[in-house]
Amino acid sequence: MNERGGGPHSDLDAATRDRVRKSLLAKGVVIPDPDCVYVDEAAEVDAGTVLLSGTYLRGPCKIGSNCRIGPDCWIEDSTIESGSTVWYSVLESARVREGSTVGPFSHLRRDADVGPEARIGNFVEVKAARIARGAKAGHLAYVGDAEVGAEANIGAGVVTCNFDGAEKHRTIIEDGAFIGTNASLVAPVRIGKDAVVGAGSTITDDVPPRSLALGRARQVVKRRSEKDVESEEAQDV
């Protein structure tokens, strides 16, 4: 029985896995716990890279030099360029360019292209999107069918609303744009260079460069009567 039948391991038998790991160690790849790392024969890993426990490299992966991969990563048919860090994450047919950081708990789906020197953080999903140099999506965001420009910032809870129920549409976020927390960008839409989208906004129209866009209800504050307060206090008792 191959290891897939007994768990989520590589299809390679134990002898083949051992040979692959010894070959990687001989060329200068660092594997602190070899018994807990699974590398397919088709995968390539350059010298100086560290593969930590729970790392799976499936299919023709290419890992550059001086990367830090793991712990606990599933990387399939993907390319990770030199000097990058990927930890506690899943990559499927994705590319991570030089000096980028992915994780923890990120999911790069097919045709995600990140970096160089970009950051994809906690619970961020990227699909069919190009994330340019220095851009950041730190946490809790979905970036799908999009172009994100250099040094752009994607706030927590941001969603590119790419599907209208029938077709997929693209979102363009230009260089230096700042997308505030819990904003929804309804594609097709373009956010201009150095533009700011206010937190909690739903954006359906293009935003010009160096503009501030707000798409949310106006806050209303009303003074409460003493009678209302006294009634609530009595109920608490």
Cis? peptide before 209, omega within 30° of 0: no
Q: Kindly report the backbone phi and psi dihedral angles of residue 19, in degrees, each rounded to the nearest multiple of 5, phi listed first.
A: -65, -40
Listed residue (193, 200, 133) closest to 185, CA to CA: 200
> Catalytic residue positions?
139
Distance CA 49, CA 115 (A): 18
Distance CA 43, CA 171 (A): 33
Q: What is the dihedral of CA 151, 156, 157, 160, to 10 degrees?
A: 0
Both structure tokens of 134: 């220095």
